[in-house]
Amino acid sequence: MSSLPQVRHRVVDTNGIRMHVAEQGEGPLVVLCHGFPESWYSWRHQITALADAGFHVVAPDQRGYGQTDRPATIDKYSMLHLTGDIVGLLDVLGEQTAVIVGHDWGAPVAWNCALMRPDRFRAVGGMSVPYFPRGPISMTTAMRQAAGEDFYIIYFQEPGKAEAQLERDVRATMLNVLYAASGDAKGADRWQPVIPRNQGVLASVGAPATLPAWLTTEDLDFYTAEFQRTGFTGGLNWYRAIDLTWELMAAYNGAKIAQPSLFIAGGEDGVLGFPGMNLILAGLPQNLPGLRNSLIIDGAGHWVQQERPEQVNAALIEFLRAL
């Protein structure tokens, strides 16, 4: 954290857990929600830029991550818990409304905060994972039908299996995952969402000869230390609760998000190649009637706000200032 001296850190009580947040700036509140396997630190390039642009920026370690509590049971990781944590965070901060932005798993948190509490979240941005309404069949059923038993999210369902592989050498895991899903990885090095049969979760990522330009030794050290301390179970439990979330959110079947919205992704993001994703992207204007911009950044991969911070920051500031 030494390279971000202006960023303040504290732990707050929200929704029955202790949550660590990083924050900077004063003005309208912007909450930044990270993905897997990340932390508040994923927003290191955005926090100060948005604060300097006149916003109060808060980036939590979400439930299961970093210095935030990690409940032991899978049923504590439903989307109702995850969005409840953020609503509670607004209460602690004394703010009635916020703009919420999420990346990767943080994107569904952001989309669902906006969907369920339009009175609290006045605008929403999602990166990598576009909004799509709840459908008629469970998430794992849909994934099995579309991509089979070897799709990584199905692989993650069995407690302990992915952890054993990811935690064997945390530094190598973080380096290879960050590299393989980025726009720098080419050919066989690129992350594949379908795990090679009987080879394990890390068989689908390549290893770089040198660090990509957007990832420093200090960055890798930070991620490594966090996951060496916490393990990966908290983050993996988000995947394991997806069918519970689907059950609990039946009332939102087919629901749209009306607030002003923004979508950003890297052109080389493997998520954009998921089965059925072309239909989801084509349906964005219908499901997000307030969509202001859908920005695909050429050459960037999955970690778009880390790989292309200048372009992402410019798009975020333009969106925020126009509200």
The C-alpha atoms of residue 167 and residue 188 are separated, in whole angstroms, by 23
SS3 (DSSP) at 94: coil
Question: Judging by beta carbons within 10 Å of its beta carbon (0-12, 13-18, 19+), is residue 197 exposed, middle or buried?
Answer: exposed
The one catalytic residue among 85, 104, 219, 269? 104
Q: For the chain, how are helix, strand and coil distributed in percent, rounded to 5?
A: 45, 15, 40
Give yes or no: 150 in active site.
Answer: no
**Out of 20, 56, 81, 302, which one is annotated catalytic?**
302
Burial 255-279 (b: 16+ CB within 10 A, else e): eebebbbbbbbbebbbbbebeebee
Decide: 9 and 1 in contact? Cβ < 8 Å. Answer: yes
Contact 261, 289 (CB under 8 A): no
What is the side-by-side strand order in the sheet with 29-33? 8-14, 17-24, 56-60, 29-33, 98-103, 121-127, 261-266, 291-297
Catalytic-residue membership of 302:
yes
Angle, in degrees to the nearest 10, between helices 309-321 and 44-52: 40
Taking each helix axis from N to C end, the angle separating 170-180 and 217-230, rounded to the nearest 10 degrees, works out to: 120
Which helix (H) or strand (E) segment is 11 a member of?
strand 8-14
CA distance 169 to 191: 18
Q: Give the C-alpha separation, 261 to 290, whole Å.
A: 6
198 Cβ contact partners less than 8 Å away, ≥ 6 residues apart = none
- The C-alpha atoms of residue 101 and residue 233 are separated, in whole angstroms, by 24
Residues catalogued as catalytic: 104, 302
